[in-house]
Structure 1
């Protein structure tokens, strides 16, 4: 199916006078809209994308902490992601990096690329033969770009939305930007997948700590809505992690607040409640723990079985009497 699409696309371009030999038969065909952006307050950088194409996030969005983010789309050259970041690391500006990437690219007329660096500088290219409606808008610390859109109102609506939601964290801000694109019709083919990537403005030297948010919806009837749901789950687990850190510092008041914040966001999530209860039990708040665990055990007996196993791993530290009391709930 993919090869058929690509063969047809290459044929159309041959008719326009562009050599069909520049397109690989297995090259991604990611017509889409996207945004690259930087949060001026935190320095965090983000790239987000939505398309009527399977798993668009594995193709379009690239980023590295302390370096920048790249969106490469339309008739995609995936190497632009890694090569673009490498050029930024060498000290090139986004404009210089983009010029180098496109210099010997025989298919630049059908490429669309946006590059943003850790200083918030941007460079964007929309090839003259990108399928209309196609275009981009650059602004302070951001660029929005789109091709094969239902109308030419899509990317202006994105730029407007990004500017209007400056009070939001960068991830939520760019999600609002993508919602604005959908309100104007978005991709003329519809919607299928979406992704969001957020990296630190400065590298910690520990790459596993520098990719802050990396969420993808590979195939869904409402990918933006599903991405929003996943981001909310991510935020809830942020509270859980903060609660765990508070426990390590023996700040049980803060830990309880963080756990309750997480549970309020997802009241039906038994695991969040469970680990909150285990933390309470470990801190001699057995009455509160028992009340929570009783409800959890009633809904799923496997949590009772897990509780019985925790002492062996040192995760639950109770006397045999207190453990039996909890297990008998």
Structure 2
């Protein structure tokens, strides 16, 4: 009931996850990323413990493939899970359990891996990867382009209702964590609109956290 990608920006070292689903609040359960470590999407009958586990394993020195192998060894009911991983070197790995729902498949690229379940067709993940690799600009822009391509290629078997995008950079918290938890419209486009608003302010929000004395003003009432 989900399609997603995890990716690394080779120029900046930033990591990102983007995900969409017919289920509500998909990003709350599926999207995980840690600055300097990697990004994970844990989906299909989701076990939310697997994302942090994979990140802990990579932070401890494992590659993406080693982390996925350990997740397979430690995870409960792993035959129902899909776990996508990209590590600090841009290496990718994925586990898709045989009990994943409907059409489930995956595609790997440079610094990116995509996968889904209950897909309209087997070509959706490759369309996501191709769009990510062809897109330019900020990692967030490339993730949005990839998710749009996934929808254009067929997306999920039914209509999607939620989506999310998470970005991590050099600080301990996500520098962007945008979510649409439910809509009858297109949740990917809702995230794209939110990103258009948030992107120009991203650096300022980080600066405000690090040292508000140097933060720019946005002219809100009472802010002089």
TM-score, normalised by the number of residues in structure 2: 0.89
> Computing the radius of gyration over CA atoms, which structure comes out larger, 1 or 2?
1
Which residue of 139, 142, 146 corresponds with 1:170? 139
SS at match of 2:54: helix
Is contact 2:105-2:115 (8 Å) kept?
Answer: yes
Query: Structure 1 152/219 Cα, relative in aligned 2: closer, same or farther at 3 Å?
Result: same
Superposed counterparts of 1:224-235, under 5 Å: 224-235=188-199
Query: How does 1:1-329 map onto structure 2 within 5 Å?
Result: 31-105=1-75, 107-165=77-135, 167-200=136-169, 203-204=170-171, 207-208=172-173, 211-220=174-183, 221-238=185-202, 274-275=219-220, 310=222, 316=224
Compute the displacement of 1:223 (Å).
0.4
Runs of 4+ in 1 over 4 A off after TM superposition: 238-242
Offset of residue 149 of structure 1: 0.6
Figure out how many residues of one structure are paired with residues of the other and give that number.
218
Structure 1 SS opposite 2:115: strand
- The gaps in structure 1 that reach 5 residues or longer are 1-30, 250-254, 260-271, 276-305, 317-329
- Structure 1 residue 116, shift from structure 2 partner: 1.1
From the superposition, tell whether residues 105 and 65 of structure 1 become closer, same or farther in structure 2 (CA, over 3 Å): closer
Post-superposition shift, 1:235?
Answer: 2.1
- The normalised TM-score by structure 1 is 0.61
Tell me, in whole angstroms, the C-alpha distance in 2 between the residues paired with 1:90 and 1:105.
Answer: 18
Distance 1:115 1:51, change over 3 A: same
- Cα root mean square deviation, aligned: 2.4
Deviation of the 1:101 alpha carbon:
1.1
Higher strand share: 2
SS of the aligned residue for 1:116 comes to strand
SS in 1 for 2:20: strand
